[in-house]
Each structure stands twice: as C-alpha cells, then as structure tokens.
Amino acid sequence: MHNAAFHALGLDAVYVPLPCRPDDVPALLTGLARGGGGGNVTVPYKEAAARAVDRLEPRAETLRACNTFWADDGYIAGDNTDVAGVLAALDQLDPPDQPWLVAGTGGSARAVAGAARERNVPLAVRSRAPERAAAFVRWARELGVAVVEADHCGVLINATPLGLGAKDPAPIPADVAPGAQVGLDLVYAPGETAWVRGLRARGLRAADGRDMLVAQGVAAFERWFPGVRAPRDVMRAAVSAALR
C-alpha cells in the first residue's frame, strides 16, 4: 500500500517490515526518526511506542497507544491513526445508533474505545482474560465512555488477532449480541475472514479490516509527508490486489 503510494508520487522512500523485541522499541523508533524516517507500529507494541516517543498527538495521548511515528523538528512525534480508520470503516457500514461490542483489550481495542468516545457511543467489552476485561472497562470509563452489557449492542467489532488462523474460533459468538446489525473485523485476510462471511450469511452488514487499513494508512502517510495528499485510490487498489 505505502510503496505503491510512494511510487505513484515519485517519493524517495520505501516501506519495509522491521521485526523487533519489546525492549528494542525505543531505540528502533529513535534511530529511524533521527534518520529522517517514520513508520507504523503494530500489535503488540502500540502502548510501548506511546511511551517511547517525545510528543504525542491528542488521540494517541488520550489512548496511550501509538501506531504512527515520524521526525518533527528534532523530536519523535506519535499519533494514533487507528481511530480515524475505525470511524471510516464503520461509516461504510451505516451503523445503527446502538452501543458497540468490542472483542479485545489491546491497542486496537483502545482505538475502538477512542472512536466510541468521539461518537459518544456506549461500549461493551469481551475478552478471554477476565482481569484484562475488567482493567479495560475501568480505563474506558475513565476515558468517558459509558460501558453497557453485550446483549444491548448493535455493532460488533473484532479487535483481536482471531481470524488470522483457519481454525480460530469466532471472536464474538452469534448468541452474545443477537440484535446486532453490523460487524467490523479489524483483521484482514485474502477472501475475508470466516467471521465476516458468517456475519453476512446471518444478514448483518459486515466487512473486514481493509477499509480501516487504508484509512489509517492515508492518515499515517500525511503525517510522514506534511502537505502531501495521500493517493487514496492507489493505496486502496494495492490493498485490494493483495487481498483478493
């Protein structure tokens, strides 16, 4: 997606994956930013990245989760473009005016909570680890998000890695929120995930994470190259080609 955008605009840049260990996050971000670069941070390092940068934009500061960083006048700046991605993806599905149920408690789930806060939507939380769910609920309430029971929810959002494996269970079983009308899977995979296909078979409006991926990518691109408009159509076409 990003390399297609760089090529389309003739930018002297390349986007590559750099594996690292948790303790390496601060040094890696510092080295890349001081060299004039930037990048994204994926699970499970978004909270570590928020602690590692010098200055956080308001969304990342609020959520304490950073997925985008860049050099800014000698400092390392960080933002959370996942919130914009969640909102853009949900808007494509015409969500009902009902609470959201999020599966997960990590950095992506924090972005969902941030999006709920901006839309003033109540949230329910589902996790396989009860203690993490309880901590997430406390944090969401401190954020100003109302927390409700799952069976009141009309929108289902998977913010876990479940779905990347062919034998993964459904992140949110069908009986948890029987009145749901919309499902958004932040996971993306060729041919969509089994959960998304199952939701659609039940009559829900559903999509995987590719629209979120493009929207957060556009926002990240425009942090790295201030004043340059991201070629959204090029980026979407690259994602669509990769996920056929």
List the catalytic residues: 46
Token pair of 176 as six digits: 């948890």
Nearest to 112 by CA among 242, 8, 226, 216: 216
Distance from the first to the final alpha carbon of the chain: 14
Token pair of 24 as six digits: 């390496």
Residue 100 CA to its chain's centroid (Å): 15
Determine the Cα–Cα distance for residues 215 and 234; give it in Å rounded to an integer: 12
For residue 164, how many C-alpha atoms fall within 13 Å in the half-sphere facing its CB? 6
Contact status, residue 171 vs residue 206, Cβ threshold 8 Å: no
The CA angle 178-200-190, to the nearest 5 degrees, is 130
Contact status, residue 126 vs residue 149, Cβ threshold 8 Å: no
Beta bridge mates, 38: 70
Length of the chain (residues): 244
